Structure 1
Amino acid sequence: MSDFRRLNENVLVGPQLALEDIADAAALGVNTIVNNRPDGEEPSAPQGDAIAAAAAAAGLNYVAIPIGHAGFSGPQVDAMIAAMEQAEGPILAYCRSGTRSTLLWALAAAKQGEDPETIAHTAAQAGYDVSPIRAMIDMLAAR
Structure 2
Amino acid sequence: MDSNQLTDNLCVRGQVTPDDVAAAKDAGFTRIVCNRPDGEAEGQPDAEAIRAAAQACGLDFTYNPVSPGAITPEAVQQQADALCAGEGKVLAYCGSGKRATVLWALSNPEGLSVDERLARAERAGYDLSELRDRL
Give the structure-1-normalised TM-score.
Answer: 0.89
Aligned 8 A contact 2:66 2:99 in 1: yes
Partner SS, residue 91 of structure 1: strand
2:126 is the alignment partner of 1:128? yes
**Residue range with higher mean Cα deviation, 112-121 or 7-16:** 112-121
Query: What is the alpha-carbon distance in structure 1 between the residues aligned to residue 90 and residue 29 of structure 2?
Result: 5
Aligned 8 A contact 2:36 2:64 in 1: yes
Any unmatched runs of 5+ in structure 1? 138-143
Aligned 8 A contact 2:68 2:99 in 1: no
- Identity among equivalent pairs (%): 38
2:18 is the alignment partner of 1:19? yes
| Aligned ranges 1:36-51 → 2 under 5 Å | 36-51=35-50
Moved over 6 A (4+): none
Code of the aligned partner of 2:85: Q
Give the structure-2-normalised TM-score.
Answer: 0.94
Question: RMSD of aligned C-alpha atoms?
Answer: 1.3
Q: Which has the higher helix share?
A: 1
Partner SS, residue 63 of structure 1: strand
Determine the structure 1 residue equivalent to 2:34: 35
| Aligned ranges 1:66-105 → 2 under 5 Å | 66-105=65-104
